[in-house]
Structure 1
Amino acid sequence: MAPLPTSRNLALDVFRGLTLALMIIVNTPGSWGTQYAPLEHAGWHGFTLTDLVFPSFLFVVGGALALSMRKFAGQTDAQFLRTVFRRGALIFLCGFLLYWFPFFKADGSFMPFATTRIMGVLQRIGLCYVLAAVIVRFGGVRGAVVAAVAVLLAYWWLLWQFGDYSLPGNAARAVDLAVLGAPHMYGGDGMPFDPEGILSTLPAIANVLAGYLAIAWLQRQGRTTGSVVRMLAAGALCLLVAYAWDAALPINKKLWTGSYVACTVGWDLVILATLVWLIDLKGLRAGLPFFEVFGKNTLFIYLLSSVAVTVLARLHVGGTSLYQWLFQTVFLSWADPYLASLLFAVAYMLACWLVAYAMDRQRIYVKL
């Protein structure tokens, strides 16, 4: 069957929306103490469904980069660099301000910059986008392949040479402590350690480059059964490499090890191939508008979902936060704690979707 005509890239748009929906569910449980295992990150080494969310965002960023390179082709190098650096800087700034928000403590005093986390999810996306875009612009497909392999091997060597694979002793933590300082790092693991730190951003570039290569390859080969089969085979090969590599370099999301990159790229290729087969080859359309709506305002809805959590946590009802009051009153009052926690997260995701839907109806799209 010949490929059906699609929008800009419907499979990629759906992938983006699906990833955002899962991200919101993962990030907003009713209670962090009652989550089903797949909705929790691996404690240290290992892999869960939740560990696939962030690298999938990076993979989709790379896919979008492949689509935008044709537009960039008409720009001079100076114009291109100005565009991508501005976009990357804005994404980084949004992430930093998100961690600083609400800027004031409960007692009304200003939250000092000295204790604000600097690195984070959007910060990593911004940095990886800029670096991947520059690599693709000046190196093309071959440069993207070489750079992806090079950063993974170089990062492995740095981890092995200057530390170990433990939480307190890894090289990534040592770099962040030296450059950022403990007050500017994430402390949720019992000690200062940033899972989106400086050094561990290097291998994350490979996730973006993998998304670029996947979509660039589909652009050249077309959406055919053969393309889907080869993409599935590539995904399976990445998974085999990941689990073989795990014996020497553990799959670890917080360290963003090379084996983790191979694992997540493998699953992302399998998911993308499946979506291309269902949407472009089989003509599936049922349910897709739900994820398309999310995919059209991804950055704004991500920011909204995070800011709203902070607001709900700061507002109080009867001595407890509005966030917890809603969970306990609306869900925990009648459901099992684990189910109630999941239902709260799903309801929160649907509330964010309603905002995205309203914006789509009004043709309001927030772009950087």
Structure 2
Amino acid sequence: MASGQDLLRRPYADEEDPAIRHRAIPDDAAPPTSGEKTRPARSKRVASLDVFRGLTVALMILVDGAGGEWPVIGHAPWNGCNLADFVMPFFLFIVGMAIPLSLKRIPSRARALRRVMVRTLKLLFWGIILQGGYSHAPDKLTYGVDMKQIRWCGILQRIALAYMVVAVLEILTKDTKFEDQSTTSCSLFKLYCWQWLFGACVLAIYFAVIYGTYVPDWEFTVHDSDSQDYGKGFKVICGTRGSLDPPCNAVGYVDRQVLGINHMYRGPAWKRSKACTYGSPHAGPLRNDAPAWCQSPFEPEGIVSSISAILSTIIGVHFGHVLVHMKSHLNRLKQWISIGISLLVFGIILHFTHAIPLNKQLYSFSYVCVTAGAAAIVFSIFYFLVDILGLRNLFRPLEWIGMNAMLVFVMAAEGIFEGFLNGWYYESTNNTLVYWIQKHIFIQVWHSRRVGILLYVVFAQILFWGLVAGILHRLGIYWKL
């Protein structure tokens, strides 16, 4: 039996496909002897990345399904960081980590660029279809969107932007002469110094915009048909520079000018803030003295915040470089955990000293640090448990979800399958199959709506789709972009 030290030093190499085939090839395999037929080395999956991706998709399903009943699960109304606020940066971190692994096997830069652009266009297409307003699932049995009010930004659109920028940067800056060479942490930073310099430029641009842009007064019209102020126009007084508050920050101002206020998200998390509702952090009716901006749109996946989000992907790329270049488990874990803890501590200090608050809506620098640090630590734990200790069976459902992440994202997180089930109703569209399952199998059994909804999401959505993804894996069926 191998000792713990041997386990930590047993090497893997790289991964081949970021979406499905995360594989690693031992670099200590003996070369073929004279006269022996050369055979390709048998590869071993780096399953921890699939598990981590599956966990992130599962968190998104949990957030969308139970966040309304459990505020600690849902997004923070403004400053702060709840469970839901880790989902987007985890996705970006995973995308970044997969980039050097997927591009390593493509020697032609032209072919690699073509592949990146095709994937980017696919992500943009599905992002607009799913989050642009065309799909009304799972709550409404209708579809279609007024092009005057279509939402241009969203989760997949942000992933597409970050993936395209960082993947092109990787293609243009990588040196194939050093791809298969082992290296130290210092030389690794030096080898990819241009990527870190680009990240510093991204951060400088972000700071210049949010602290240097003058935000004038602005107006909007309420388009929410459920609001008593439907059709009314309101004016928000700003006339300031460098504000990080909800109504007058430069992130929202740029989106209003470029995207147009009618093309922004109409249900921002700030509607649950204390200034807007008595039930904060729960959603509820507006306060009588609620400021006008409580009813205005705000784009949490907008232009300026997406520029900052590129940093999460760049950090993920570095972790992919570690996996490619460092051949020892121990050295990899040292690098990952040290960087993760440093980022986490630095981000927390920035937040609690009130220098830069944690804020997902603005994608603040402290938020980048804390979430990237958390992603590094979570992935390192999975890597140790799954790929080193071999406890893979404990995480099979998450691994299966991670191997078919796009399918589960569309069907479960975006509610397409649940919307299909809601098409089967009895007497009234309010009495759907999903409603019946939630009420009679979960809520009434536990005599609590909060607990019942949570268990419904865990078992009827996350575990269910984990098993479905497992069946599809056995059949060799995957949805790849």
Q: Give the structure-1-normalised TM-score.
A: 0.91
Per the TM alignment, residue 103 of structure 1 is displaced from its structure 2 partner at its CA by: 7.5
Is 1:228–1:274's contact at 8 Å kept on the other side of the alignment? no
Per the TM alignment, residue 201 of structure 1 is displaced from its structure 2 partner at its CA by: 0.6
Q: 1:333 aligns with which of 441, 444, 457?
A: 444
Match of 2:246 in 1: 167
Per the TM alignment, residue 148 of structure 1 is displaced from its structure 2 partner at its CA by: 2.1
Is 2:141–2:419's contact at 8 Å kept on the other side of the alignment? no
Does residue 86 in structure 1 map to residue 86 in structure 2? Answer: no
What is the DSSP-based 3-state SS (H/G/I as helix, E as strand, rest coil) of the residue aligned with 1:199? helix
Is 1:92–1:123's contact at 8 Å kept on the other side of the alignment? yes
Taking the aligned partners of 1:108 and 1:18, their CA distance within structure 2 comes to: 31
Match of 2:188 in 1: none
Match of 1:308 in 2: 417
Taking the aligned partners of 2:350 and 2:204, their CA distance within structure 1 comes to: 12
Q: 1:130 aligns with which of 141, 164, 179?
A: 164
Does residue 102 in structure 1 map to residue 138 in structure 2? Answer: no
Name the amino acid aligned to 2:399: E
Is 2:103–2:112's contact at 8 Å kept on the other side of the alignment? no
Q: 2:85 aligns with which of 39, 48, 51?
A: 51
**Structure 1 or 2: more helix by fraction:** 1
Is 1:210–1:265's contact at 8 Å kept on the other side of the alignment? yes
Q: 1:152 aligns with which of 190, 195, 203?
A: 203
Does residue 348 in structure 1 map to residue 461 in structure 2? Answer: yes
Per the TM alignment, residue 12 of structure 1 is displaced from its structure 2 partner at its CA by: 1.2
CA gap of 1:330–1:101, structure 2 versus 1, over 3 A, is: farther
Q: Comparing 317-326 with 273-282, which one deviates more in the overlay?
A: 317-326
CA gap of 1:201–1:9, structure 2 versus 1, over 3 A, is: same
Deviations 1:189-226 (Å, cap 9, x if unpaired)?
33210100112111111111111111211221124223
Q: Comparing 231-240 with 272-281, which one deviates more in the overlay?
A: 272-281
CA gap of 1:317–1:165, structure 2 versus 1, over 3 A, is: farther
Is 1:223–1:280's contact at 8 Å kept on the other side of the alignment? no
Taking the aligned partners of 2:142 and 2:311, their CA distance within structure 1 comes to: 43
Per the TM alignment, residue 4 of structure 1 is displaced from its structure 2 partner at its CA by: 6.5
Deviations 1:278-307 (Å, cap 9, x if unpaired)?
223323223132222111111121011112
**Structure whose alpha-carbon radius of gyration is higher:** 2
Taking the aligned partners of 1:312 and 1:186, their CA distance within structure 2 comes to: 26
- Kindly report the root-mean-square deviation, in angstroms, between the aligned alpha carbons of the 2 structures: 2.3
Deviations 1:213-267 (Å, cap 9, x if unpaired)?
1121122112422331332111111012112222211110111111100111111
Taking the aligned partners of 1:107 and 1:348, their CA distance within structure 2 comes to: 20
Deviations 1:283-334 (Å, cap 9, x if unpaired)?
3223132222111111121011112244455654443152434322321112
Identity of aligned residues (%): 30
Match of 2:373 in 1: 266
Which structure would you say has the larger RCO, counting Cα contacts within 8 Å and 6 or more residues apart? Answer: 1
Match of 1:357 in 2: 470
Does residue 241 in structure 1 map to residue 346 in structure 2? Answer: yes
Aligned residues: 363
Q: Give the structure-2-normalised TM-score.
A: 0.71
